[in-house]
Amino acid sequence: MSRPAGKSKLVRGAQGDWEVVIGMEIHAQVTSKAKLFSGASTEFGGAPNSQVSLVDAAMPGMLPVINAHCVAQAVRTGLGLKAKVNKKSVFDRKNYFYPDLPQGYQISQYQAPVVGEGKVLVDLPDGEIEVGIERLHLEQDAGKSLHEQHPTMSLVDLNRAGVALMEIVSKPDLRSAEEAKAYVTKLRTILRYLGTSDADMEKGNLRADVNVSVRKPGAPLNTRCEIKNVNSIRFIGQAIESEARRQIAILEDGGKIEQETRLFDPAKGETRSMRTKEEAHDYRYFPDPDLLPLELDDAFIASIAASLPELPDEKKARFVKEYGLSAYDAGVLVAERETADYFEQAAKGRDAKAAANFVINELFGRLNKAGIGIERSPVAAEQVGTILALVAEGTISGKIAKDLFEIVWEEGGDPRAIVEGRGLRQVTDTGALEQVIDEIVAKNPDKTAQAKAKPAVLGWFVGQVMRATAGKANPQVVNELLKKKLGV
């Protein structure tokens, strides 16, 4: 694994430095209209138990039927993770008892998953690291137990029972909360580009189990604890940090880490014990006799490979090469496919660096302020393109471009027509500007005197002229005229 040199990721304890070792299991809900083994709908937000087939309810004698679309989605994701797709995989029963699991087992994959080893490149402020993917397997989600809706009963909603999940297991390659957060962010970007999961943590269709252990640098791996079902990227970071501190405190005290499953409590900002960790044999895995092994042929895999979109890493490299953007700016723009498309449309035939700056600073700033995503931006890429063209041809100044953007945001319309209609054209007419300059110079004899000795005062005069012209003066022309007038 490559890791940027020189940056220590160690955590300081009372007795020296510790290294935090993190591996993640991400459960991502597969984008599919129907469930993994039944035709019931996967629509979010339906009335309780309105999307439950006889298979999902585990009625006696009902048989699961594999949903080919979900298999294709898993293969697509595997190819997007540069992973090995296994042409033969097996569905197993993972046996455990829980009220929201009517079958008494989850259909999952154990020894033979559909996707094997792959890798994800993760962007960090100080460089890039490669995180290994151990495997990706398909499995069913469980239903939901609702404990708060009735004073003396727990209720069960099976709408989610049987929905397809991809469990994506990383190698223990992550070394800090920051790296773990960046990894999940990158994985989410890839899944969205592929269209294989909405990966929306708020809706619960991306959930993270985080494995954390600590060790002295260079020492063998220590016992780990698994923090279950962390449901936001911020909480992932907090959970790792608090869990690492807890383990370091125990070890420095001469204690021993017990392998267990823990829960993160966002209110307290700490993890607490949930149960001692089960071993695989506790689940009594065995191949599901109701399902044949899953066999994929080369043509099926090849047709999916042929339909893959340009992925974020490739797009980023292209933006750097084709548009001359910095790696950082390119990374920001490709984080969402919609943003990358927007940028490319705005930049078409124009100064791409100016377009990138405008999209990253003006557009993103305004979207953040409004609390909306780019897909709901009231200013279209074409309109931003026109604003950039107006600046490039000298019709408006950079300052007016920002005002113009705000007008288009609030009122819509053609930027070019707005410039004409509101008289926003840049003033380059030296006669008109000289008149303004003469007035300012006459009113400020002290500053005029200073300007000769202190050239920095020139900037003050430029500011005054820009103010007097409501930002419409061409700054270069003003500069020239002022220099002549003040003799600097």
Site residues for Mn ion per CB under 5 A: 167
Q: Which amino acid is it at 182?
A: A
Nearer to Mn ion, 92 or 167 (CB): 167
The distance of closest approach from Cβ of residue 308 to Mn ion in the complex, given in angstroms and rounded to an integer, is: 25
Q: Which residue is nearest to Mn ion (CB)?
A: 167
φ and ψ of 173, to 5 deg = -100, -5
The distance of closest approach from Cβ of residue 157 to Mn ion in the complex, given in angstroms and rounded to an integer, is: 19
Q: Which amino acid is it at 18?
A: W
Nearer to Mn ion, 167 or 241 (CB): 167
First to last CA, the chain: 58
Nearer to Mn ion, 19 or 167 (CB): 167
Separation CA 386–CA 392 (nearest Å): 10
Nearer to Mn ion, 167 or 329 (CB): 167
The distance of closest approach from Cβ of residue 37 to Mn ion in the complex, given in angstroms and rounded to an integer, is: 16
Separation CA 181–CA 185 (nearest Å): 6
In our burial notation (b when 16+ CB lie closer than 10 A, e otherwise), range 4-38 reads eeeeebebebeeeebbbbbbbbbbbbbbbebbbbb
The distance of closest approach from Cβ of residue 214 to Mn ion in the complex, given in angstroms and rounded to an integer, is: 25
Nearer to Mn ion, 67 or 339 (CB): 67
The distance of closest approach from Cβ of residue 169 to Mn ion in the complex, given in angstroms and rounded to an integer, is: 9
**Consecutive H or E run containing 402:** helix 398-411
Residue of 443, 447, 455, 460 whose CA lies nearest to 483 = 455
Nearer to Mn ion, 225 or 359 (CB): 225
The distance of closest approach from Cβ of residue 312 to Mn ion in the complex, given in angstroms and rounded to an integer, is: 25
Nearer to Mn ion, 73 or 242 (CB): 73
Separation CA 488–CA 476 (nearest Å): 15
The distance of closest approach from Cβ of residue 211 to Mn ion in the complex, given in angstroms and rounded to an integer, is: 13
Nearer to Mn ion, 227 or 248 (CB): 227
Please report, to the nearest 10 degrees, the dihedral formed by the alpha carbons of residues 217, 220, 224, 230 taken in order. Answer: 50
Residue 250, classed as helix, strand or coil, is: helix
Q: Which amino acid is it at 307?
A: S
| CB atoms near residue 467 (< 10 Å) | 12
The distance of closest approach from Cβ of residue 167 to Mn ion in the complex, given in angstroms and rounded to an integer, is: 4
